[in-house]
Amino acid sequence: DTGVSQNPRHKITKRGQNVTFRCDPISEHNRLYWYRQTLGQGPEFLTYFQNEAQLEKSRLLSDRFSAERPKGSFSTLEIQRTEQGDSAMYLCATRDRGHSGELFFGEGSRLTVL
């Protein structure tokens, strides 16, 4: 197991285009989180899944953002009609069923909207 995997690592797109990011969690980690990080800021919570159920969404997640985890394994984060303000690092983190509280992060997907 190589840890949490995210792709693509980098995405450059023009304003108005749609983009999709994928996160593959550590095996048997049933909890999956998406965060957004901009320069000089800490990770900002976007959404959280337990298995395939999306349990919480931040108000940062506008109608243009949608996340899925169809079989409780990998997850996708789609941004429709991208805006320049969407440029950021999108981080995925997963956590196991226990109570250790440790989040395991992927390397992130960096989005640049021109």
Partner 1 sequence: AQRVTQPEKLLSVFKGAPVELKCNYSYSGSPELFWYVQYSRQRLQLLLRHISRESIKGFTADLNKGETSFHLKKPFAQEEDSAMYYCALTGGQNFVFGPGTRLSVLP
Q: Smaller CB distance to partner 1: residue 14 or 99?
A: 99
Characterise 100 by phi-psi region: left (phi > 0), alpha (psi -120 to 50), beta (else): alpha
Q: How many residues bind partner 1 (CB under 8 A)?
A: 24
44-69 as b/e, with b when 16 or more CB fall inside 10 Å? Answer: eebbbbeeeeeeeeeeebeeebbbeb
Place of tokens 């983190």: 93
Residues from 13 through 42 that contact partner 1 (CB under 8 A):
33, 35, 40-42
Is 98 near partner 1 (CB under 8 A)?
no
Residues from 47 through 86 that contact partner 1 (CB under 8 A):
48, 55-56
State the nearest-atom distance from the C-beta of 95 to partner 1, in Å. Answer: 9
